[in-house]
């Protein structure tokens, strides 16, 4: 069974994930993949406190995530994978993790980032990584909540073929 969702959201675990997406996708485990969060006991504790007791959750480094997401594990569990950047997805794909679709649910404003959708702000590195995923045949679903229509990120990325303005 493939991952039930691979989601880029710089807020990682929060209400849209725990309530909105979880109710639709029905994952058995949430895997938060972030070296920064996994290496900070304080951050790990904060994120894990947002997860209800009736679902399993793990906070793993990139290396631990790659080791965890074996075909056997993915056959046994319905997994919602959360990351905070497109680069992490590229790293996962390059390591052999089979990803068919990525939900871009929230990449929020930061200095140096430009808005390409109501909830997606990117810089040139983000565009490069999203384009790399698209060129590998990975679908890019720009949608913050399950009830919203998807943003056609392939079309948006074609517009930015020479980088951001």
As annotated, the active-site residues are 14
Q: Which 8-state DSSP code applies to residue 20?
A: I
Q: How many CA atoms lie within 13 A of 49 on its CB side?
A: 6
Strand 101-106 relative to strand 79-83: parallel, antiparallel, unpaired? unpaired
Cα separation of 100 and 49, whole Å?
30
Tokens 């999203």 belong to residue? 130
**Residue 80, strand partner residues:** 5, 30
Q: Which 8-state DSSP code applies to residue 32?
A: E
């Amino acid at each position: 069974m493939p991952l039930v969702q691979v989601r880029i959201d710089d807020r990682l675990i929060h209400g849209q994930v725990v309530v909105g997406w979880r109710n639709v996708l029905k994952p058995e485990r949430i895997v938060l993949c972030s070296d920064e969060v996994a290496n900070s006991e304080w951050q790990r504790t904060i994120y894990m406190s947002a997860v209800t007791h009736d679902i399993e959750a793990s906070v793993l480094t990139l290396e631990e995530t790659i080791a965890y997401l074996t075909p056997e594990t993915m056959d046994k569990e319905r997994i919602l994978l959360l990351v905070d950047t497109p680069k992490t997805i590229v790293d996962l794909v390059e390591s052999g993790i089979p990803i068919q679709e990525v939900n871009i649910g929230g990449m929020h404003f930061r200095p140096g980032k430009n808005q390409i959708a109501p909830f997606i702000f990117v810089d040139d590195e983000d565009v490069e990584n999203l384009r790399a995923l698209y060129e590998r045949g990975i679908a890019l679903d720009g949608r913050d909540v399950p009830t919203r229509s998807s943003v056609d990120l392939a079309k948006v990325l074609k517009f930015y073929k020479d980088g951001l303005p």
